[in-house]
């Protein structure tokens, strides 16, 4: 295997010690992965920490087989990472969430026991090449299986590993917007079953003329008419609509504008090459949803419908309480 660490001028002794430490960590993760018991519909992350040198026994294989046959949607991520937790909460019909703070474990034995098609989702803010290879290897173990593998990643992957990784997964989602659209990628048919009774009008702010026109035409195709383009001066006249704000900036003179608009309307912020700083700022100021931009128009349609569904549920709840 190619040792990329040698390119950083480390000594042979240090490389050997690091390789041994890495092997121990992988063994620890794999052994603890196999010992876990089945818990259906778990919303909490499972703790996989265990002793490194625990001996294997025949019960291990039975445990792995039992887990593999009782779950259909599984998630790997660091439970201490708020983005991983947000994605896990948004996954429909999640059976199991594994806590992976260091490396995603070697999933070979687990994958061999999958007797049906599964959805395997992983979140890594900065995925390592070995993690990408471990996830992608699930499909090679049983070429006849049709497992769906989804990677949610930070912006590091966008620049370093995108070309190498994009053919290995069914989808690579930006971590900043994965919580908004993960349901659509897990089960598109089920996600589209729930549609709002009425679709709210849409206003579009920001971007250049061509981008605004493209989004306006797409919104009309979604059944949202009128889809109007507005400027800053029109925001006070937009009430109880969904506002698509293209690439908002958060300079001092724009923060109050964004915050005021969010009090009157649901804002979908389309953030160009989103990172956590801008995503968190938009959410802090009241954005109803954030999408990495440019985005798939199907993702935008799904998010707009979901916002209207939340409005309808809130309206029904208010009427019942009166």
Beta strand ranges found along 37-193 (DSSP E): 45-46, 73-77, 96-99, 119-124, 148-153, 171-174
Q: Is the pLDDT of residue 198 over 90?
A: no
What is the edge-to-edge ordering of all strands in the sheet holding 227-230?
A: 227-230, 202-205, 242-246, 266-272, 289-293
Q: What is this structure's pTM?
A: 0.74
pLDDT at res. 305: 92
Task: Over range 66-92, report the average pLDDT.
Answer: 83
Residue 284 pLDDT class (50, 70, 90 cuts): very high
Task: Over range 20-45, report the average pLDDT.
Answer: 41
pLDDT at res. 159: 56
The count of other CB atoms within 10 Å of the CB of residue 108 is: 13
Q: Is the pLDDT of residue 235 over 90?
A: no
* Average pLDDT of every residue of the chain: 76
Task: Over range 198-218, report the average pLDDT.
Answer: 89
Helical axes 178-186 vs 82-90, angle rounded to 10°: 40
Cβ contacts of residue 161 below 8 Å, gap of 6+? Answer: 127, 129, 132
Residue 161 pLDDT class (50, 70, 90 cuts): low
Of 13 and 295, the structure prediction assigns the larger pLDDT to 295
* Residue given tokens 């490194």 in the structure block: 52
CA atoms in the 13 A half-sphere facing the CB of 21: 7
Rounded-to-integer distance, Cα 76 and Cα 200, Å = 36
Quote the percentage of the chain above a pLDDT of 90: 30
Of 119 and 39, the structure prediction assigns the larger pLDDT to 119
Quote the percentage of the chain above a pLDDT of 70: 71
């Amino acid at each position: 295997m190619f040792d990329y660490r040698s390119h950083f001028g480390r000594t042979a002794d240090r490389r050997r010690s690091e390789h041994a430490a890495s092997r121990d960590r992988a063994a620890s993760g794999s052994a603890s992965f196999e010992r876990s018991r089945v818990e259906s519909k778990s919303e909490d992350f499972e703790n996989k920490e265990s002793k490194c040198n625990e001996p294997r026994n025949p019960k291990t294989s039975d445990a792995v087989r039992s887990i593999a046959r009782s779950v259909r949607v599984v998630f790997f991520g660091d439970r201490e990472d708020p983005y991983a937790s947000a994605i896990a909460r948004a996954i429909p019909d999640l059976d199991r969430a594994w806590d992976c703070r260091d490396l995603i474990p070697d999933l070979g034995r687990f994958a061999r026991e999958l007797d049906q098609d599964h959805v395997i989702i992983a979140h890594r803010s900065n995925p390592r090449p070995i993690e990408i290879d471990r996830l992608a290897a699930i499909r090679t173990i049983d070429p006849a299986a049709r497992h769906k593998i989804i990677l949610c990643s930070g912006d590091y992957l966008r620049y370093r590993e995108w070309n190498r990784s994009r053919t290995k997964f069914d989808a690579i989602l930006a971590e900043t917007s994965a919580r908004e659209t993960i349901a659509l990628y897990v089960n598109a048919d089920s996600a589209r079953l729930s549609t709002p009774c009425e679709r709210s009008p849409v206003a579009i702010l920001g971007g250049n003329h061509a981008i605004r026109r493209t989004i306006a035409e797409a919104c009309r195709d979604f059944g949202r008419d009128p889809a109007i383009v507005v400027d800053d001066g029109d925001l006070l006249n937009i009430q109880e609509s969904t506002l698509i704000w293209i690439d908002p900036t958060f300079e001092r003179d724009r923060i109050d504008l964004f915050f005021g608009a969010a009090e009157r309307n649901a804002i979908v912020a389309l953030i160009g090459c989103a990172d956590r700083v801008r995503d968190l700022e938009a959410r802090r100021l009241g954005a109803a949803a954030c999408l990495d931009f440019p985005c798939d128009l199907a993702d935008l349609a799904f998010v707009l419908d979901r916002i209207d569904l939340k409005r309808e549920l809130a309206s029904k709840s208010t009427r019942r309480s009166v």
